[in-house]
Structure 1
Amino acid sequence: MKSQRLTPASFLLAGIIFLLLFGVIAWGVYFESNWIRSFDLSWIERIQGTISEGKTAFIMFMTELGSMKAVIAMTIIICIVLFFKHKFAEGLWFGGTILFCAAIGGKVLKKIVERDRPNFLQLIEKTNESFPSGHATATTIFYGFIGMVLILSVYQIWKKVIISFITLVWIGFILFTRIYLGVHFPTDVLAGFLYGLAAVFISIGVYLLIREPLRQLLQKLHLADQSQAFKRAR
């Protein structure tokens, strides 16, 4: 067994870059910049121009796989499995990331910006704040987190490429559904995506920094931690 040499600084730096990009969009939305309005109108016209009855029924079903409720439910199941396998550090890391970054962080950002929902064609009814998209945030953090852990846990380049492709396509599809259904502006989902990426990269960087101290703390609590994230046999 050999550990991949992962440096916390590189993940933290990437996370900060994504967070800054999120900040640029948030600034534009908060002050109702013209470029934000032009971008949103352009993509809403393109995406909602493809609406059909059959496609809508399918999208309404699939989009719920990216909802905060679904993500929280799946997170609880995964954490229970990790704890059952004595991977306490990984369970706390994963559960903490979803709780603080997706559930709490996303809600706080919504309250700060307080952007109204689009007043265009809405195929489902939503009344709470629009920015950033909760689905985009939850989807990117949950599926992006799992995708990144898998990518960093394998050595073959072709496996990394396949995992990256599947992860991005799935996240992109959920983001698309929110615009298609008329419940979010394109900048809502783009911001949720960027914030989600920032959360994933920063979370990995922080975990790499505190992994050993956390495991030592768990040992003091008489919990034999068997977490092995990022460790695979060649």
Structure 2
Amino acid sequence: MNNKLYTQFVGSCSLVLFAFLGYVVRFYPGWIQPFDQFITNGIRSLYPTWTPFFLWITKFANPSTMVILFLALLFVLLYGKRYAEAAWFSLGIIGIAGIFNPLIKLLFMRERPTLEHLVTEHSYSFPSGHSTGSMVLYGTLIFLIALFIQNRYLKLGLQIILGSCILLIGISRVYLGVHFPSDIIGGFSLGLGWLLLSYPYYQKQRFIWRFKNKQL
């Protein structure tokens, strides 16, 4: 119960942060400009040395990559009769990253930075779709990886790699000039809020399905 309350508390805080950032971005964008400028200057100071790396890492959250990984992982889960996991995973990718994030961009209508764009983007800026998508996809894997790997050190190592991938994808979007840092934080907080608030319900559904299967 304590773990559930802690998870839901952190998830709620993530969504509050997202709502706060959205409010500021929509009505008082000048408030957050110094923060965005400071972080952007630090990341862009790596230009152009790190361009090949960030062009590569950002592809791990491109829509085409997300679709391929989603379908592949969904097949693995369904093949292994992990129906609760498949449902939770699908709701996050399709519902949050695929539908909700693009729609909510229309509410905030934030234009992208005026920096040189190293990749082509056409939608609005807040929240970052790459950040939301990577948090939902790779964040779900961080939770589910324990189902497939029992070795403690290997599991921890893979979770660290996945967490680092999420962070680097966010940084890449600022480096490539298509997002403000607050867009990235907004996308991360939206995705993390979904994961942490829905995780206890996924666990409950998983228990129910496993119990029914044992009875059968």
Query: TM exceeds 0.5?
Result: yes
Residue identity in the other structure for 2:189: L
* Structure 1 contact 7–205 (Cα < 8 Å) conserved: no
**Equivalent residues, number:** 214
* Structure 2 contact 84–202 (Cα < 8 Å) conserved: no
Match of 2:23 among 3, 14, 27: 27
CA 1:154 to 1:82, structure 2 compared with 1: closer, same or farther past 3 Å? closer
CA 1:51 to 1:36, structure 2 compared with 1: closer, same or farther past 3 Å? same
CA 1:91 to 1:19, structure 2 compared with 1: closer, same or farther past 3 Å? same
Cα distance in structure 2, aligned partners of 1:108 and 1:215: 35
CA 1:83 to 1:10, structure 2 compared with 1: closer, same or farther past 3 Å? same
Tell which deviates more after alignment, 61-70 or 115-124.
61-70
Q: Where do residues 53-202 of structure 1 align in structure 2 (5 Å cutoff)?
A: 55-150=50-145, 162-202=157-197
* Structure 1 contact 67–134 (Cα < 8 Å) conserved: no
1:228 aligns with none
Structure 2 residue 45 is the aligned partner of structure 1 residue 49: yes
The C-alpha deviation readout for 1:110-166, integer Å capped at 9, x for no partner, is 111111111122112212111101101101111111112336888887667544532
- What is the alpha-carbon root mean square deviation over aligned residues? 2.7
* Structure 1 contact 144–167 (Cα < 8 Å) conserved: yes
2:35 aligns with 39
Q: Give the structure with the larger helix fraction.
A: 2
1:230 aligns with none
Cα distance in structure 2, aligned partners of 1:191 and 1:153: 31
Tell which deviates more after alignment, 154-163 or 99-108.
154-163
Residue identity in the other structure for 1:28: V
Query: Where does the alignment leave 5 or more consecutive residues of structure 2 unmatched?
Result: none
The C-alpha deviation readout for 1:43-70, integer Å capped at 9, x for no partner, is 1111112211x53133213211112331
CA 1:74 to 1:108, structure 2 compared with 1: closer, same or farther past 3 Å? same
* Structure 1 contact 67–139 (Cα < 8 Å) conserved: no
Deviation at 1:96, TM superposition (A): 1.9
The C-alpha deviation readout for 1:27-52, integer Å capped at 9, x for no partner, is 11111343311111111111112211
Q: Where do residues 3-18 of structure 1 align in structure 2 (5 Å cutoff)?
A: 7-18=3-14
TM-score, normalised by the number of residues in structure 2: 0.86
Deviation at 1:90, TM superposition (A): 1.7
Residue identity in the other structure for 1:14: V
* Structure 2 contact 113–177 (Cα < 8 Å) conserved: yes
Cα distance in structure 2, aligned partners of 1:159 and 1:11: 24
Cα distance in structure 1, aligned partners of 2:202 and 2:149: 18
